[in-house]
Amino acid sequence: MDSWYDHADEVDIVTASLNEVRTTLHLEDVKSCVAVGSGHGSIELPFLQLCMPNVLEFTAVEPDLESAAAMSKNLAERLPNVVSVVCQEMVQQWRDPDQPVDAVLLFHVLYYLNAQH
């Protein structure tokens, strides 16, 4: 994980483009969201704040202990009014809730999964 964050100057590029994403995708009605492989939330959190400003419930599925802990801390600091859960596990083991969610974020995680997953 260190190597990813050491080289993630892309985060700056992505966050700079979020205004365009916001005005293109219109995700204002999203109330519930799951992020798979959220890491620390370095892209997910600015995305939620800017593009999904009305989200009420958020779940992060992140197997790495340190990243899951950082995500919990970052959520509490940056989205204190959102009901948030961080599930520290692989998405393959995650028991998703019966309730559907409005949106699923998969930022830089699909390449960890194969077609079966």
Ligand X SMILES: C[S@@+](CC[C@H](N)C(=O)[O-])C[C@H]1O[C@@H](n2cnc3c(N)ncnc32)[C@H](O)[C@@H]1O
For ligand X, the binding residues (CB under 6 A) are 4, 36-39, 42-43, 61-64, 67, 90-92, 107-109, 112-113
Q: What letter would DSSP give residue 53?
A: T
Contacts with 59 (C-beta within 8 Å, 6 or more apart), sequence order: 33, 34, 35, 84, 85, 86, 87, 97, 101
- Which one, 57 or 63, has the nearer CB to ligand X? 63
CB 74 within 8 A of CB 5: no
CB of 35 to ligand X, least distance (A): 7
CB of 24 to ligand X, least distance (A): 19
Strand positions, DSSP E, the chain: 32-36, 57-61, 83-87, 103-105
- Which one, 29 or 78, has the nearer CB to ligand X? 78
- Which one, 29 or 61, has the nearer CB to ligand X? 61
CB of 117 to ligand X, least distance (A): 7
